[in-house]
Amino acid sequence: MGSRKPKNSPEDLCAYFVEIKEQDGMTSVMEEYVHLVGKCIEDKIFSESNDHIAICRSDTTSSISFLKADWDALRKGLKALSETKDAESGGIENPISCIDDICNAVIAQAEEDAYGEKKILYFSNLSSYVLNEKEVQDLADKLLQNEIFLSIVLPNKVGMTDIQLQNSKLIKTTFGQEKYESVSFVTNFKKAKCQILNTLSKKIPKLFSWNVPFEITPKITINVGGYVCTRQNKAAEMKKVLIKQVESDKSANGNEPSTSTALVPVGSGNTSSSNAAEKTVVIEVAKKVLEKEIIWTEKDGTVVGDEDRGKGYLFADKIVPYNDLETDESYKSGDKCMKLLVFCPVEKLNPALQCGDGTTLFYPKKDDIRSEVMFKALMQAMVKTNRAAIVRKVYRKNTRAAVGSLVPDMDRQCLVFSELSYADDVSIPQLPVLIKPEDMGDEGNDGIGEKESLIDELIAAKSLSYDFNPLEGPVDPAARNMRDMVSKKVLQNASIPSLPNESDNIEVFFQNLIVSESTLSQIRENFPLKVCKIENERLAGTNIFHKRSRENEIEDADKKPKLELKMEEASMEEDKDEDEINDLLDEL
């Protein structure tokens, strides 16, 4: 086990493994496994900035491989994974040996870096090999010795073969011992799926939703509410960064307690100044993640008023205050809003451009029948056309304008918002121009001046190349065009030209949105309007990932009542609807 903790190192080390053979009609089962694991990454239960993570599975070549779609955090330990062979009946020849190989990879990765936790999530088939009690016991001891937490997801009991039942019983008996409770968790696929999906969709009653009209056009809006979905203890971690923390440990000189970087003096920002007139204030981070306002206090306990509150950037665990120019030119993004900018293909959304450690789940506003209907119609259309919505979001008046994607999630019947970085959020570093020393002539000795001139030309050519990003390589023209259009819209509030693809036009999404009796009947046939109740008693999905227990138990979320759609309330006069659609088409 390593003893050093590298700077900005992720906290946890995780590996996912799916054991299944893509034959005999099992491809759909494989897709379910991958879909379930994808949910964990999509909602950032584990995030790249906080965890080292990789997904691997047994493929048709009988080898263990890491999917390219995910970051290869275990690349250093990849060689430790030995190849295994599939038995004729499908599955891994020896699943325990396979888990042991993954443990070796995790241990090899952890030898250089120190991690808070090391975790493995294993979807096991257990159908091709009769497990031996000794090897299962040895694996459990290895997990305990190296402090690696293993979660095993077994097949559903219905339909199990005799071998599967025997192996399942042995695993549950071994890992069910009290001494292994801290390093193991065993469940089946059905329970795991319910736990993950229900836990992620569960709304925390203590955090109020962010209610906002989702503006499609000036005449078409959907009232929605957003619920933040973050990593465990993320709010608590951010609170430690955002508010002043007076640590109990003394500083190096032993006289004064050290404080967080959130404290800066007014004016030049020089913390070492001895000017008694300077007043210590707290920096308000531009990108806030907490719903409630925090009462800022000074070192002596005095409450800091609004006039003494500053602003700054949050960079890693440091807070950098605004300078005078940035303070004068504070955000003027307008009123609170969420507006549609453009629809784009889902495959054009690059996961590398997503920023932040949390997502927001948007649901239609409670008891708003019209918004319910329009929201579900929008989701249905986006799924059929495989489109995502690019939106501009302002959390509150004159705060930073964010650009993000809304992707439909049919499992939870919601739109998942992830913030995107656009052109002006991430600027490409400019390479400096080489300057010749003053004492060197134009010609220079040994032709140095000519060489520098050639290097300058090369640097200028690379810097000005529009199709090449020195950090990412060639830029996809379609993705670049979408980025430029979104940036132009956000910064200059300029109109976006109509896209040539008809599936991107707004009228395609809403041409059947005339809320009449016939339309409601058609919508009701395509998808259910009733919201299923969520069972009160269910295991916490966090058990699968061995997350740290919360300090206070979360109360049961308010159940959403069944939608009793009344035709006379939701219907509208057809003449009025036709006029609205005609006006919409005229605007487009």
Burial of 143 (0-12, 13-18, 19+ CB in 10 A): buried
Would you state the pLDDT for residue 25? 45
Cα–Cα distance list, 390 to 215, 344, 349, 588 (Å): 12, 7, 10, 18
Question: Which range scores top for mean pLDDT: 48-57, 80-89, 154-163?
Answer: 154-163
Amino acid at 441: G
Helix (H) or strand (E) holding 580: helix 574-587
Question: At 214, is the pLDDT very low, low, confident or very high (cuts 50, 70, 90)?
Answer: very high
Average pLDDT of span 330-345: 79
* The pLDDT of residue 482 is above 80: no
Average pLDDT of span 276-287: 37
3-state secondary structure of 474: strand
Would you state the pLDDT for residue 209? 75
Would you state the pLDDT for residue 413? 84
**Looking at per-residue confidence, does 462 or 20 come out higher?**
20
Q: Are 37 and 18 in contact (CB under 8 A)?
A: yes
* The pLDDT of residue 508 is above 60: no
Question: Which range scores top for mean pLDDT: 253-267, 396-410, 430-444?
Answer: 396-410
DSSP letter for 366, please.
T
Would you state the pLDDT for residue 371? 87
Q: Are 273 and 302 in contact (CB under 8 A)?
A: no
192-209 pLDDT tens trace: 776 666 554 444 444 557
Average pLDDT of span 582-586: 57
Mean pLDDT, the chain, rounded, equals 58
Question: At 338, is the pLDDT very low, low, confident or very high (cuts 50, 70, 90)?
Answer: very high
DSSP letter for 26, please.
-
| H-helix segments, 248-363 | 324-328
Question: Which range scores top for mean pLDDT: 30-39, 374-383, 512-521?
Answer: 374-383
**Looking at per-residue confidence, does 573 or 337 come out higher?**
337
d(CA 50, CA 54): 13
69-86 pLDDT tens trace: 334 433 333 333 333 333
With a pLDDT cut of 90, the percent of the chain lying above it is: 1
- What domains sit in the chain, N to C, each tagged with a CATH number? 12-201 (3.40.50.410), 205-416+498-513 (2.40.290)
**Looking at per-residue confidence, does 311 or 256 come out higher?**
311
Beta strands (DSSP E) in 91-147 are: 117-123
